[in-house]
Amino acid sequence: MDNGKSNIVELVDENGNNTLFEHLMTLDYKDSEYIVLSPLDEASDQEGESQIVILRVEQDEKGDDLYLAIEDDTELNEVFIAVNEIYGQDVDIGEFEN
């Protein structure tokens, strides 16, 4: 049954390219909100390995969500570990992007 919400998110990168993602989860961690996505394009699925993208959620002056790449490697690693704990899997840190 469809509750009217879609798990599909379309993001536009800095070059104007549209990419479709599946929304896996939203995570509150250390006073910040993060979104975890999985690319839907076939090129992102290398040898059957799942890839995820973790973005920090912030709001612009209008209150609209902005999804920002995590520049700090320590922050990204901590959030990735938290996501991994939720999923109960041991995923190789090389399998994700930010």
Tens of pLDDT along the chain (98 residues) come to 445 457 999 998 889 999 999 999 999 999 999 999 999 875 545 556 678 899 999 999 999 998 999 999 999 999 999 998 887 765 554 444 44
Q: Is residue 2, in this structure, part of any structural domain at all?
A: no
Q: What three-state secondary structure class fits 82?
A: helix
Q: Is residue 89, in this structure, part of any structural domain at all?
A: yes
Q: Is residue 73, in this structure, part of any structural domain at all?
A: yes
CA distance 96 to 90: 13
Owner of token pair 């990419």 = 19
Q: Is residue 48, in this structure, part of any structural domain at all?
A: yes
Owner of token pair 């990168």 = 13
Whole-number pLDDT of residue 96: 47
The parent domain of residue 88 ranges over 21-97
For residue 81, what are the CA distances in angstroms to 2, 49, 91?
31, 18, 9
Condensed to tens digits (0 to 9), the pLDDT of residues 24-48 reads: 999 999 999 999 999 987 554 555 6
Q: Is residue 15, in this structure, part of any structural domain at all?
A: no
| pTM for the structure as a whole | 0.74
CA distance 25 to 22: 9
